[in-house]
Amino acid sequence: MKFRDDFVWGAATSSYQIEGAQYEGGKGLHLWDEYVKEKGKVFENQRGDVSCDHYHLFREDVKLMKELGLKAYRFSVDWTRIMPEGKGMVNEEGVAFYNALIDELVANDIEPYLTLFHWELPMELYKRGGWMNPKMPEWFAQYAAVIADRFSDRVKNFFTVNEPQCFVGLSFSEGVHAPWLQLPDRETILMSHNALKAHGRAVQELRAHAKQPLVVGYAPTSGIALPATDKPEDIEAARQAYFGIPQEGTWAWNTAWWSDPVIFGKYPEEFLVHFEKDLPKITDDDMKLISEPIDIYGQNIYLGYPVCMGEDGKPELLSRNTGYAKSASNWPMTPEALYWGPKFLYDRYKKPIFITENGLACHDWIHLDGKVHDPSRIDFTARYLGALKRAAQEADIRGYFAWSLMDNFEWAEGFGQRYGLVFVDFKTQKRIPKDSAYWYRDVIRTNGENL
Ligand code: NOJ
């Protein structure tokens, strides 16, 4: 078993989670800047105003990436740094920051993978209804055009949006992310339709303004349904559960709803029937736009849930074993998710797959010897990558981005959860590569032969 020779080994971050400098460089305000101020929503009322101060320390961070042997770096651009009001005026200082970051990556032979939207919805657009506004796809298209105009001479690889399940579902259905709202399905389903159209328009504009042939993808997420046994009926049950209407949580955790339209140009029939009374107007032109062809399919994968075929011939969710292994964020450790996830996705969508995020929150600290020992993260990643290696024999898997390059602002969990390969002391901004960072360097060096 092996990974392809040109396998892309990388690490990922996102703008608000690491940049800091939220009130500098001509940047506009976004949803998180504003709603993070609401008391009692984020762990210890923390905010991303400074975070890892990557805006000022990016050169040091790229140097670390080089030392760790990363071949690729997935980062996101903050829409409000480029267009403070979300449309119209372009902020040259913001462009200059990302230009400098990209130049630094290229000079160090690290391939940039740029995500356009990792949740910084400009406040000026939010005030106009945000994702509810039918103009959102056009506003996003304007932004995508600027991104391609300014960066695609050096950046070849793009992801449009990150985890629409979260920026629609967690933010507007479950109310656990800014702006902490619980809206009816009718409204969030409309948002999802507009977000998918925005994705399609971005694909078009990226290509129209590209300075070289681009590789364009999409980066949704999901928990993975895991067959309880290798019996064909359990595998089938897991597949059905994975692409079906979620049995737990809100509608937004439906994989097929977010991905079938992008790849097939159709929403899943089952969903259209089930949510009929909550659907917006959906036209053939919308579906054509949403399915504007992409080159690669990204998926963020962290965990799975066990499923078997029930006696009624329908998928049945099983409870986990008592005392199951879990992370500092209480997420279960389920390495098989990196086998079944890519496999199910590849079987259905037949697109080259990138794991755009995967990683573990641990309770890390600096040990007496001055180092950060994180054996659990090494064990976790070894197991997950082992499963991915197995999947790579059966599906077209092109790359893996560890989440995250460094500890950062974990949304509602503030700085209370550490996902980094590199430890960040948020007081001094000192970076210390954890043991897992050096271990990952060896994985990269051997192209996963050491797994
Ligand atoms: C996925 C999100 O894209 C990222 O922003 C977040 O930090 C990680 N999951 C961990 O929760």
The DSSP code sequence of 296-348 is: EEEEE---EEEEEE-TTSSEEEPPPPTT--B-TT--B--TTHHHHHHHHHHHH
Residue from 377, 375, 339 nearest 355 by CA? 339
For ligand 1, whether the C-beta of 417 sits within 6 Å is no
Alpha carbon separation from 70 to 55, 289, 300, 363 (Å, rounded): 20, 35, 19, 24
Pocket test for ligand 1, best of 159, 300, 356, 358 (most atoms within 8 A of CB): 300
DSSP string spanning 241-302?
HHHS--SSS-GGG-HHHHHHHHHHSS--HHHHHHTGGG-----HHHHHHHT---SEEEEE--
Q: How many A from CA of 438 to the centre of ligand 1?
A: 22
For ligand 1, whether the C-beta of 410 sits within 6 Å is yes
Rg of the chain taking only CA atoms, in angstroms: 21
Q: Identity (one letter) of the amino acid at 407?
A: D
User: Nearest residue CA, atom 6 of ligand 1?
Assistant: 410
For ligand 1, whether the C-beta of 357 sits within 6 Å is yes
pLDDT digits (tens, 9 = 90+) for 38-71: 999 999 999 999 999 999 999 999 999 999 999 9
Alpha carbon separation from 257 to 133, 193, 196, 220, 290 (Å, rounded): 20, 10, 10, 11, 12
Helices (H) and strands (E) in the chain, counts: 16, 13
Q: How many A from CA of 219 to the centre of ligand 1?
A: 11
Q: How many A from CA of 146 to the centre of ligand 1?
A: 26
- Which ligand 1 atom is at minimum distance from the Cα of 361? 10
Is 178 within 8 Å of 31 (Cβ atoms)? yes
Q: How far apart are CA 34 and CA 170, in angstroms?
A: 17
User: Nearest residue CA, atom 11 of ligand 1?
Assistant: 410
3-class SS shares of the chain: helix, strand, coil, % to 5: 40, 15, 40
Q: HSE of 253 in the Cβ direction (CA atoms, 13 Å)?
A: 16
Q: How many A from CA of 441 to the centre of ligand 1?
A: 22
pLDDT of amino acid 298: 98
pLDDT of amino acid 228: 98
Q: How far apart are CA 49 and CA 210, in angstroms?
A: 33
pLDDT digits (tens, 9 = 90+) for 131-145: 999 999 999 999 999
Instruction: Look up tokens 């259209």; give the residue.
Output: 272
Instruction: Look up tokens 């159709």; give the residue.
Output: 266
Pocket test for ligand 1, best of 19, 43, 163, 418 (most atoms within 8 A of CB): 163
Pocket test for ligand 1, best of 13, 76, 411 (most atoms within 8 A of CB): 411
Instruction: Look up tokens 């050491």; give the residue.
Output: 450
Distance from chain centroid for Cα 224: 15
Is 298 within 8 Å of 354 (Cβ atoms)? yes
User: Nearest residue CA, atom 5 of ligand 1?
Assistant: 14
pLDDT of amino acid 53: 99
Is 308 within 8 Å of 230 (Cβ atoms)? no
pLDDT of amino acid 57: 99
- Which ligand 1 atom is at minimum distance from the Cα of 408? 7
Active site residues: 163, 357
For ligand 1, whether the C-beta of 15 sits within 6 Å is no
pLDDT of amino acid 405: 99
Tokens standing for residue 120: 């910084």
Q: What is the DSSP letter of 168?
A: I
pLDDT of amino acid 11: 99
Low-confidence ranges of the chain (pLDDT < 50): none
For ligand 1, whether the C-beta of 120 sits within 6 Å is no
For ligand 1, whether the C-beta of 300 sits within 6 Å is yes
Distance from chain centroid for Cα 25: 25
pLDDT of amino acid 106: 99
Q: How many A from CA of 115 to the centre of ligand 1?
A: 13
User: Nearest residue CA, atom 7 of ligand 1?
Assistant: 410
For ligand 1, whether the C-beta of 403 sits within 6 Å is yes
Q: How many A from CA of 309 to the centre of ligand 1?
A: 31
Q: How far apart are CA 86 and CA 142, in angstroms?
A: 9
Is 237 within 8 Å of 319 (Cβ atoms)? no
Q: How many A from CA of 203 to the centre of ligand 1?
A: 23
Alpha carbon separation from 305 to 86, 331, 335 (Å, rounded): 38, 10, 11
For ligand 1, whether the C-beta of 14 sits within 6 Å is yes
**Average confidence score pLDDT of the chain:** 98
Predicted model pTM: 0.98
3-state SS class at 402: strand
Pocket test for ligand 1, best of 410, 413, 417 (most atoms within 8 A of CB): 410
Torsion of CA 98, 104, 108, 110, to 10 degrees: 0
- Which ligand 1 atom is at minimum distance from the Cα of 162? 3
Q: How far apart are CA 190 and CA 133, in angstroms?
A: 9
Helix (H) or strand (E) holding 225: strand 224-227
pLDDT of amino acid 328: 97
User: Nearest residue CA, atom 2 of ligand 1?
Assistant: 163
Distance from chain centroid for Cα 84: 23
Q: How many A from CA of 404 to the centre of ligand 1?
A: 9
For ligand 1, whether the C-beta of 299 sits within 6 Å is no
First to last CA, the chain: 10
Instruction: Look up tokens 């928990």; give the residue.
Output: 223
Q: How many A from CA of 272 to the centre of ligand 1?
A: 29
